[in-house]
Homo-oligomer: A and B are copies of this chain.
Amino acid sequence: MHNDQPLKIAPQLSVSQWFNTDAPITLEQLRGKVVVIEAFQMLCPGCVSHGLPQALQIAGIFPIEKVAVLGLHTVFEHHDAMTPVSLKAFIHEYRLSFPIGVDQAGEANIPKTMAAYQLQGTPSLIIIDQMGQLRAIHFGQVNDIQIGAEIATLLAEK
């Protein structure tokens, strides 16, 4: 998705539990930074092979003062198989170091943040600008050069 429509403030995150952070994180707190959210499921092969390694790379390349990388566990299938207990071990084994929130249970098996952003599935990479506006949602595998360019373009704004 690339908006040609007027830009809108990104929907807030509905998170039932956070990992890798002492306090809950809100998008409001992150104004002034570009925010990159990797929406994933721990048992989604494309998330494991491409999406999460790319998010880790982004977190390693851009300074944390300028780009905030978050994970969002948007479970919409196999709910019993991907509980927070399993996610915690997954985060440990895959050495995921950025904050990760569990998307809050919603209606019809679709968690709340996933519904608010109208995500098509996982992995989805959400990009929010320094003003808090939703700028892009990429579903599936995204080219590394492309994503580097998109983030840098938003960093150069204002």
Contacts and interface: CB of A to CB of B under 8 A. Distances in A.
Q: Which of A45, A57, A93 has the most CB of B within 10 A?
A: A93
Nearest to A84: B81
A148 B147 CA distance: 7
Contact of A61 (B78, B85, B149, B155): B149
Contacts of A153: 152, 155-156
Interface residues on A, range: 35 or more
Given A62-B149, A146-B148, A85 B81 contact: yes
Contacts of A157: 156
A90 interface: yes
A45 B128 CA distance: 30
A145 B78 contact: no
A148 B155 contact: no
Nearest to A90: B43
Contacts of A152: 148-153, 156
Contacts of A144: 143-145, 148
A37 interface: no
